[in-house]
């Protein structure tokens, strides 16, 4: 197999995977925040918040990510004119488009992934037996104390493993950003497939290896952490 495209300066393989990593990083932080807010609403004593959160999760989770990301670019930006980057006069417009598309892709990934984060956190809260909270209340702890001393520490441990799965899925889902022209690994692979079509197996193996290298440690490390932190019942 011929791997000489690796040393061709025309193809920035490191750069493409670096974009993948950046997409994953920002989308992970964003969806952790939004997902936690959604999960908090889901278990809030206020019925309207519960309805809103349930509705949001069930609607967004069932739409293909492809559709969401394409809507970010074609609807949110092109039709509604929402800009996430500033366009400076005299500067190369491509730089503006790159930043804009990157941020739109992150936004789409956050909107989508936060629903899975929310479900993971909610299922974590549900693993705490009601007896724990009842016992805590029986010894006179206040609501904030029940939450911070009893429920959250146990729920958090149960949430690590499902969140790791969500993070791995997110890493793979960043490839969908190629749909709106973000120069990440899948877009580069598509380009390589066309230009170096005789070496398509080598191209595939290199890209696949990149993703294995990215996702395997997440699974191994967080899986180990989850096992160590697990509450035995």
Partner 1 sequence: MTTKDAVTVLYDHPGPKARRLNLVLTVIFGALLMLALWWVLSTLADKGQLAADKWKPFLQAGTWTTYLLPGLWATVLAAALSVVIAVPVGAALGIARLSDHAWLRRPAAAVVEFFRAIPVLILMLFAFTLWFTVFSVSSPLAGVVIALVLYNGSVIAEVVRAGILSLPRGQSEAAAAIGLSKSQMMTSVLLPQAVTVMLPALVSQLVVVLKDTALGGLLIGYVELRRAASTAASFYKNLLPTYVVVGVIYILLNVALTFAASRLERRLRNRAGRSDPGTAGAVGTGTTPLPGTSTVAAANAAAAQ
Measured CA to CA, the distance from residue 230 to residue 71 in angstroms comes to: 40
Among 2, 8, 79, 148, binds partner 1 (CB under 8 A): 79
Among 7, 9, 78, 86, binds partner 1 (CB under 8 A): 78
* Stretch touching partner 1 by CB under 8 A, among 6-14, 89-97, 98-106, 120-128: 120-128
* Stretch touching partner 1 by CB under 8 A, among 6-14, 22-30, 86-94, 155-163: 155-163
Instruction: Please report whether residue 151 would count as binding partner 1 according to CB under 8 A.
Output: yes
Among 42, 104, 111, 183, binds partner 1 (CB under 8 A): 42
CA atoms within 13 A on the CB side of 24: 22
Among 2, 8, 66, 148, binds partner 1 (CB under 8 A): 66
Among 19, 107, 111, 158, binds partner 1 (CB under 8 A): 158
Please give the full DSSP string across 174-204, using - where no structure is assigned: GGGGGGGT--SHHHHHHHHHHHTGGGHHHHH
Residues in 1-30 at the binding interface with partner 1, rule: CB under 8 A: none
For residue 88 the two structure tokens come to 């400076």
Q: How many CB atoms lie within 10 A of CB 148?
A: 12
- Cα 136–chain centre separation: 35
CA atoms within 13 A on the CB side of 217: 5
Instruction: Please report whether residue 138 would count as binding partner 1 according to CB under 8 A.
Output: no
């Amino acid at each position: 197999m011929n791997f000489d495209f690796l040393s061709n300066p025309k193809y920035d393989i490191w750069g493409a995977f670096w974009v993948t990593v950046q997409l994953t990083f920002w989308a992970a932080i964003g969806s952790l925040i939004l997902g936690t807010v959604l999960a908090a609403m889901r278990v809030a004593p206020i019925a309207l918040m519960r309805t809103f959160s349930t509705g949001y999760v069930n609607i967004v989770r069932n739409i293909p990510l492809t559709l969401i990301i394409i809507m970010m670019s074609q609807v949110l930006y092109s039709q509604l004119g929402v800009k996430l980057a500033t366009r400076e006069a005299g500067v190369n417009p491509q730089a503006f488009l790159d930043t804009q598309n990157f941020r739109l892709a992150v936004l789409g990934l956050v909107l989508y992934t936060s629903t899975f984060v929310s479900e993971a956190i909610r299922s974590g809260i549900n693993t705490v037996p009601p007896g724990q909270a009842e016992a805590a209340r029986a010894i006179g702890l206040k609501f904030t104390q029940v939450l911070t001393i009893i429920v959250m520490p146990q729920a958090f441990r149960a949430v690590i493993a499902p969140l790791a799965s969500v993070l791995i899925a997110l890493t793979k889902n960043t490839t969908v950003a190629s749909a709106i022209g973000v120069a990440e690994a899948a877009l580069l692979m598509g380009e390589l497939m066309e230009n170096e079509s005789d070496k398509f197996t080598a191209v595939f193996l290199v890209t696949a290896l990149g993703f294995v290298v990215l996702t395997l440690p997440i699974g191994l490390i967080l899986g180990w952490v989850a096992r160590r932190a697990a509450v035995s019942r």
